């Protein structure tokens, strides 16, 4: 860990030296992860020395440069505060049973997932063409998904494991199968894939000269866990369009925008619509679920217990009439979004960035209160879109006792990154 200096040019003024301690934020992330997972008993002393040595090193670097740790860039100072605030005399011990649990690998799961995706597309194509036996074909695929999901659930139970114990890719395949195992989700996926076929044919018929849509021997559409929003390729006369699962329940106009952008040429209008949809609540609900970003542990953080905060907020603001949702911390730090309500799983998720001794208690309570309002008030449907932050929502949000202070703190925190 060593200091580095940045000398910005300030239009003729004397440059101000900004001291940065490289590796400090990474050290905080490593410590946070170890504290979350628990520390093996034999590694306790090593962990204490690591934390003590890092804090001492920062103090010495600051002293040599005649500055206070407060003068460090905000991310570095917050990391320093976090490390210095760790109670080294009361460290969480790793659960030995959890340590002995190996990474769960299920043979041929990815191949099975690919097979189901192809069967899903075949059923959607039959639905689009209204071929004889299309309904039976759809039921057959649904039964196949149910069988695979039941098998996965059985394996997890026998191994006393969770999806988080699986390799990342396998975990995503499993989550997508569990998602499709819901009848409404399954039928939505079928209808959306059939709509893709319909849009493709419409594009071909309406294509202008210079914007010809390729006449392909075979078209293939799928919703598949991926980092990109969509991916289009043509190989050996066959076209393939993979879309992020977050689009599975998107408005038909969004799907049309994706196909037009992929097959023809991107337009500003289509790109804007796709980006807006990728930031919507429905998209994020599925995206968070597919990526496994919700912590599998209980709602007890390093400094704050979400269960305790919920009961206080529920009693004070809702007279205990709010049914308790699932409460979880994220597994990663976030910069601007500090909470989310996932209606599909009735889960309130709070950013791990707020589980910190320097964050006032009322700030975390406000996030819990804000997300519970989403649970209680739901979404307002309009002709064009869904509205979460309605006039009634904003009115009730301001009833929070420390509303102004919480807003100011969160705005300050967002701009400090």
Domains and CATH numbers, the chain: 3-98 (no CATH), 109-290 (no CATH), 306-416 (3.30.2010.10)
pLDDT tops 80 at residue 299: no
Q: Which of 14-28, 66-80, 270-284, 366-380 has the lowest mean pLDDT?
A: 14-28
More confident residue, 298 or 28: 28
The per-residue b/e assignment along 164-201, b for 16 or more CB within 10 angstroms, e otherwise, is: ebbeeebbbbbbbbbbbbeeebbebbbbbbbbbbebbe
Q: In residues, how long is the chain?
A: 417
Following DSSP, what letter does each residue of 280-293 receive, concatenated?
SHHHHHHHHHHHT-
Other beta carbons within 10 Å of 140: 13
Query: Residue 10 carries which DSSP code?
Result: B
| β-strand pairing of 339-342 with 347-350 | antiparallel
The pLDDT > 70 percentage for the chain reads 85
- The mean per-residue pLDDT over the stretch 194-211 comes to 75
More confident residue, 385 or 172: 172
Query: Residue 151 carries which DSSP code?
Result: H
Alpha-carbon distance of 33 to 12, in angstroms, equals: 44
Query: According to the per-residue pLDDT averaged within each range, which of 56-60, 282-286, 294-298 is highest?
Result: 56-60
Q: What per-residue confidence (pLDDT) applies to 106?
A: 85
More confident residue, 16 or 198: 198
Alpha-carbon distance of 362 to 407, in angstroms, equals: 11
pLDDT tops 50 at residue 163: yes
Here the tokens at position 184 are 């409404």
Q: Exposed, middle or buried: residue 380 (CB in 10 Å: 0-12, 13-18, 19+)?
A: middle
Does residue 399 contact residue 317 with C-beta atoms inside 8 Å? yes
Q: What per-residue confidence (pLDDT) applies to 207?
A: 60
Residues contacting residue 202 through CB under 8 Å, at least 6 positions apart:
none
The answer, as to whether pTM is greater than 0.75, is no
Alpha-carbon distance of 403 to 394, in angstroms, equals: 11
Q: What is the pLDDT of residues 84-137, one digit of tens each?
A: 888 888 787 775 544 444 477 888 888 999 999 999 999 999 999 999 899 999
Q: Exposed, middle or buried: residue 233 (CB in 10 Å: 0-12, 13-18, 19+)?
A: exposed
């Amino acid at each position: 860990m060593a200091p580095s200096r940045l000398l910005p040019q300030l239009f003729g003024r004397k440059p101000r030296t900004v001291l940065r301690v490289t590796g400090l934020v990474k050290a905080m992330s490593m410590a946070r992860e170890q504290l979350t997972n628990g520390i093996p008993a034999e590694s306790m002393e090593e962990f204490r020395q690591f934390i003590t040595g890092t804090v001492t090193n920062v103090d010495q670097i600051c002293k040599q440069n005649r500055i206070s740790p407060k003068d460090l860039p905000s991310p570095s100072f917050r990391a320093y505060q976090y490390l210095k605030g760790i109670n080294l005399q009361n460290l969480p011990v790793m659960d030995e049973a959890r340590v002995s649990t190996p990474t769960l690998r299920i043979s041929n799961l990815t191949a099975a997932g690919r097979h189901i995706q192809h069967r899903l597309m075949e059923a959607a194509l039959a639905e689009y063409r209204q071929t004889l036996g299309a309904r039976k074909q759809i039921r057959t695929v649904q039964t196949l998904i149910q069988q695979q999901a039941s098998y996965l659930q059985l394996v997890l139970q026998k191994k006393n494991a969770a999806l988080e114990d699986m390799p990342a890719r396998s975990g995503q395949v499993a989550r997508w199968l569990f998602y499709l195992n819901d009848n409404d989700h399954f039928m939505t996926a079928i209808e959306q894939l059939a709509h893709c076929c319909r849009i493709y044919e419409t594009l071909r018929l309406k294509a202008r000269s210079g914007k010809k849509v390729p006449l392909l021997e075979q078209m293939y559409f799928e919703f598949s866990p991926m980092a990109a929003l969509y991916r289009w390729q043509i190989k050996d006369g066959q076209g393939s369009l993979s879309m992020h699962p977050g689009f599975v329940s998107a408005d038909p106009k969004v799907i049309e925008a994706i196909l037009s952008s992929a097959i023809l040429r991107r337009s500003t209008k289509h790109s804007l619509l796709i980006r807006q949809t990728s930031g919507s609540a429905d998209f994020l609900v599925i995206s968070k679920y597919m990526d496994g970003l919700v912590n599998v542990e209980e709602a007890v953080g390093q400094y704050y217990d979400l269960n305790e905060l919920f009961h206080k907020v529920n009693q004070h603001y809702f007279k205990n009439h709010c049914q308790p949702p699932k409460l979880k911390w994220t597994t990663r730090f976030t910069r601007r979004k500090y909470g989310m309500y996932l209606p599909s799983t009735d889960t309130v998720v709070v950013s791990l960035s707020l589980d910190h001794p320097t964050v006032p208690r009322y700030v975390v309570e406000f996030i819990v209160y804000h997300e519970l309002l989403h649970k209680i008030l739901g979404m307002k449907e309009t002709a064009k879109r869904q509205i979460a932050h309605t006039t009634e929502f904003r009115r009730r949000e301001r009833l929070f006792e420390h509303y102004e202070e919480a807003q100011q703190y969160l705005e300050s925190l967002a701009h400090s990154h």
